[in-house]
Amino acid sequence: MEYVLPVLMALVLSFFIIKIINNKTKKKVSRVFYRQSDMHVLLKTFFSRDINLENKPSQIDIRNQKNMVKVIAIDEKAYWVSDNIFYVADLINNEPDFSTTRPVDTSNMSKTDIDKMLFILDNLGRGNDNDSSSSGNE
């Protein structure tokens, strides 16, 4: 019994010493806080290695492609296809004059004129969807 009191006091004293040492070591370790954008940059390199997001068209690009029409200008005439009809209009200052718009009549054309129209139709279908006079496009 005479040893119980000193052992108990030694345990209580050692408990407080361990508690103080733990508190001091916790204060020395600095906490690093990351913002959401920092975490995004860190995790993006791991999770998007195989995903190519640069060529994915946005919603506005898809909407604009539906509403835009490609036009080819040859020999002072502008040619385009709209609603499956091949149209031609005169050019004034390198701009189509829409008041002169008319469908192309192939019934009275010669073979060379028909070949020219087929060449224009092939070129209207070619090229990138976003060929905005960039030097890298067809």
Domains of the chain, by residue range, sit at 69-125
Contact between 90 and 76 (Cβ < 8 Å): yes
**pLDDT of 129 over the 70 cut:** no
Place of tokens 């070129």: 123
Q: What is the pLDDT of residues 53-105, one digit of tens each?
A: 566 777 888 888 777 888 888 888 888 888 888 888 999 888 888 889 999 88
Quote the CA–CA distance of 101 and 109 in Å, as a whole number.
18
Q: What is the pLDDT of residues 22-53, one digit of tens each?
A: 776 665 555 677 788 888 887 877 776 666 65
Q: Rounded to two decimals, what is the model's pTM? A: 0.48
